[in-house]
Amino acid sequence: MTTLIKNGTVITAADMYKADILVKNGMISEIGKEISKIASEIIDAADKWILPGAIDVHTHLDTQVDGMTTVDDFETGTAAAAAGGTTVVVDYAQQEPGTGLAQTLAAWLAKAQPRAVTDFGFHIALAEVNDSVLSEIPQMVDAGVTSFKISLEGVGERRIGDAAAVDFLQRVAAAGALPCVHAENGEVIDLLWRRLAAEGKSSAKYLPAARPPEVEAEAVARVIALADLARTPVYFTNLASAHAVEKVKIARDRGQSVYAETCPHYLILNSSRYEEADAVKYYTTPPLRPAWHQDILWKAMNSGDIQVIGSDHTAVNYAGQKDLGLDNCQQSPRGFAGVQERLAAINTAGIQAGRLTLHRMVDLLSTMPARLFGMFPRKGTLAVGSDADMVIYDPRTDHYLSKAMALSRVDYCAYEGMRAYGSPWLVIQRGRVIAREGKVMGRPGGGEFLIRARAGAA
């Protein structure tokens, strides 16, 4: 099957030009002006942008979060992704204590392969760091999993100390994978929560006091120092504060291989949400920050100190899940949905507001995620020989983000009522249309598991 896409404006991380694109056997076979070859299907993309398919490297599908199950599985979660212009998700496969990494990967493949609408890959999030677990990492890299994550916010026996973190960094990097870290100082957070609870302050209103930016910045700085000692790269997930960005910038300015991701909610929402009656809806970690942090995050994306915007899509309902923590938010599962809203929200808050260029948006949402996580140039760009993953985006439309338009099973939209400019008109995965004007055309199980390449400097 061949598809000819005509008259569109091709936009990559480096270029913008009007061209036609010829797709054969799921790959881009030709890019040029006025291609006139016979094709099975011709798509007129006049007045529209042709972007590489967006890549979301931070999702949590069909998993346990704080003892509760997310309401999106790989079918509904990747359907929402497709409708929003995302053609690849890299999900966190969560290891359980005492469970091997091979068993973890097999469990996540069993969840995803029959259901995923988009292509997909996995990071493995480690619950524990010991010789048994770390010895399996080379085997997982051979299987195509080339990134692993630890979190420094764990409690009690789940807390990962500095020596274990160094061991993790070195063993992951030696296997040719990228070590990822959620950096908040869990020990200090525990202390702050205990003090607040003693004063009867346990609701989401007190999240900013319990998890202030200093506990994020301290953990980021500590991991940067440990990675420097270990002579390894490191990738920070969901960076939220100006304080943490400052630590990343200093390290990058001196040439250290430090990479960082932020999320749309840190760029668009702010800590004033915690003053609302339903504040627990916005319980996420790190928490939302005061609005002035957003200017620093946008500047860091433009300077290259933040390379990726991931959704951190964690679909948990307000009714029956989050509302259990109205008085004590730690009894609520953290996180909220965002995989479908990501592209339109960043186009609105970034491009339309003059904070980003189109090239930089493509880099943050597609090209750099592909480079850092072993998918480039198969994914993340529009070039001859690349997979024909693309979004034909109509910049002239506008709509309001809402639960009513979302395909996630979650019962609310964190961005409810936000006016969004532009929307995906067609979303194409390996040459096949998987979404058309917000309606999913792809089938469950149509997505492929991506065997990702070993990590390299980006």
371-392 pLDDT, tens digit each:
999 999 999 999 999 999 999 9
Report the range of poorest mean pLDDT among 154-163, 167-176, 386-395: 154-163
CA torsion, ordered 202, 195, 334, 156, to nearest 10 deg: -140
Q: Who's near 174: CB < 8 A, 6+ residues apart?
A: none
Closest alpha carbon to 66 in 322, 276, 389, 296:
322
* 456 has pLDDT over 70: no
* 156 has pLDDT over 90: no
DSSP element (H, E) containing 41: strand 41-44
Beta-bridge mates of residue 151:
182
Percent of the chain with pLDDT over 70: 98
CA distance 177 to 453: 9
- pLDDT digits 0-9 by tens, 45-56: 999 999 999 999
Residue 455 pLDDT: 77
Residue 146 pLDDT: 98
Average pLDDT over residues 123-135: 97
Buried b vs exposed e over 208-244: b needs ≥16 C-beta within 10 Å?
bebbbbebbbbbbbbbbebbeebebbbbbbbbbbbbb
Strands 258-262 and 234-236, sheet pairing:
parallel
Residue 432 pLDDT: 97
Average pLDDT over residues 292-319: 98
> What are the residue ranges of CATH 3.20.20.140 in the chain?
53-372
* 458 has pLDDT over 70: no
Instruction: Determine the number of helices (DSSP H) and then strands (DSSP E) in the chain.
Output: 14, 19
CA distance 185 to 159: 10
Average pLDDT over residues 24-50: 95
Q: Who's near 49: CB < 8 A, 6+ residues apart?
A: 8, 9, 11, 358, 391, 392, 393, 394, 395
Burial class (CB in 10 A: 0-12, 13-18, 19+), 100: middle
CA distance 389 to 427: 8
What six digits make up the tokens of 331?
Answer: 């009894």
Residue 457 pLDDT: 44
Closest alpha carbon to 318 in 303, 304, 329:
329
Average pLDDT over residues 257-282: 98
> What are the residue ranges of CATH 2.30.40.10 in the chain?
2-51+389-409+421-440
Q: Which fold has domain 53-372?
A: TIM Barrel (3.20.20)
DSSP element (H, E) containing 301: helix 292-303
CA distance 452 to 359: 24
Residue 53 pLDDT: 98
Average pLDDT, the chain: 96
Give 159's pLDDT tier (boundaries 50, 70, 90). Answer: confident
Q: Are 359 and 16 in contact (CB under 8 A)?
A: yes
Give 155's pLDDT tier (boundaries 50, 70, 90). Answer: low
Q: Are 307 and 372 in contact (CB under 8 A)?
A: yes
Average pLDDT over residues 252-257: 98
Return the number of other C-beta atoms located less than 10 Å from residue 370's C-beta: 26
Q: Domain 2-51+389-409+421-440 is classified in which CATH homologous superfamily? A: Urease, subunit C, domain 1 (2.30.40.10)
Strands (E), 295-431: 308-309, 390-400, 419-429
Return the number of other C-beta atoms located less than 10 Å from residue 166's C-beta: 17
Q: Are 95 and 424 in contact (CB under 8 A)?
A: no
Burial class (CB in 10 A: 0-12, 13-18, 19+), 199: exposed
Question: Cα 316–322–324 angle (5° rounding)?
Answer: 140
